A = this chain, B = another copy of it.
Amino acid sequence: MATSRKRVGIRDVAAAAGLSITTVSWALNGKGEVAPGTRERVQRVARELGYQPNEAARALRTGRSRILGIAVAHRESGPWEQTYLPYYRSVVAGAAIEAVEHGHAVAAIPVSQARGLEVQVPCDGLIVIDPVRDDPILAGCRRRGIPVVVDGRPLDEGFGDVPVVESDIATGMRTVLDHLRAAGAERPALLTGAERDAYTIDTERLFHNWCRRNDLPGTVRRVRAGESPVAAAESLLDRGVDAVHALNETYGNALLAAAGDRGVEVPDRLRITMMGERDPLAPGNGAGYLSLDPVAIGAACVRVLVAHLNGRRPENVTVPCRFIPPGRTPAG
Interface residues of A (CB under 8 A from B): 7, 50, 52-57, 59-60, 63, 65-67, 69, 72, 74, 76, 82, 85, 88-90, 92-93, 96-97, 99-100, 103-110, 118-123, 140, 143-145, 249-250, 253, 256-257, 259-260, 263-266, 279, 281-283, 285-286, 328-332
Query: Which B residue's beta carbon lies closest to that of A286?
Result: B331
Inter-chain contact B253/A279, CB cutoff 8 Å: yes
CA distance A67 to B253 in the complex (A): 37
Inter-chain contact B328/A260, CB cutoff 8 Å: yes
Inter-chain contact A118/B89, CB cutoff 8 Å: no
Query: Which B residue's beta carbon lies closest to that of A120?
Result: B55
A89 and B93 contact, Cβ closer than 8 Å, known pairs A59-B59, A265-B331: yes
| A237–chain B nearest beta-carbon distance, Å | 13
| A231–chain B nearest beta-carbon distance, Å | 14
CA distance A24 to B271 in the complex (A): 64
List the 3 closest pairs (A to B, CB-CB), nearest first: A55-B122, A56-B59, A96-B108
Inter-chain contact B60/A56, CB cutoff 8 Å: yes
CA distance A143 to B332 in the complex (A): 57
Inter-chain contact B279/A257, CB cutoff 8 Å: no
Can you give 24 contacting A-B residue pairs, CB < 8 Å? Answer: A50-B144, A53-B120, A56-B59, A59-B122, A66-B119, A66-B121, A89-B90, A92-B92, A92-B93, A92-B108, A93-B108, A96-B109, A100-B118, A104-B119, A105-B108, A107-B108, A122-B122, A250-B281, A253-B283, A257-B330, A265-B331, A286-B330, A286-B331, A330-B330
Query: Which B residue's beta carbon lies closest to that of A268?
Result: B331
Inter-chain contact A253/B265, CB cutoff 8 Å: no
| A178–chain B nearest beta-carbon distance, Å | 24
CA distance A120 to B62 in the complex (A): 14
A265 partner residues in chain B, CB cutoff 8 A: 331-332
A96 and B72 contact, Cβ closer than 8 Å, known pairs A250-B281, A283-B257, A330-B286: yes
Inter-chain contact B121/A55, CB cutoff 8 Å: yes
A105 partner residues in chain B, CB cutoff 8 A: 69, 107-110, 119, 121
A328 partner residues in chain B, CB cutoff 8 A: 260
Partner of A121, one of B50, B65, B109: B65
A330 and B285 contact, Cβ closer than 8 Å, known pairs A93-B89, A122-B55, A122-B122: yes
Query: Which B residue's beta carbon lies closest to that of A98?
Result: B110
Inter-chain contact B263/A332, CB cutoff 8 Å: yes
Inter-chain contact B260/A122, CB cutoff 8 Å: no
Inter-chain contact A331/B260, CB cutoff 8 Å: yes
A253 partner residues in chain B, CB cutoff 8 A: 279, 281-283
Inter-chain contact A60/B66, CB cutoff 8 Å: no
CA distance A120 to B100 in the complex (A): 10
Inter-chain contact A65/B56, CB cutoff 8 Å: yes
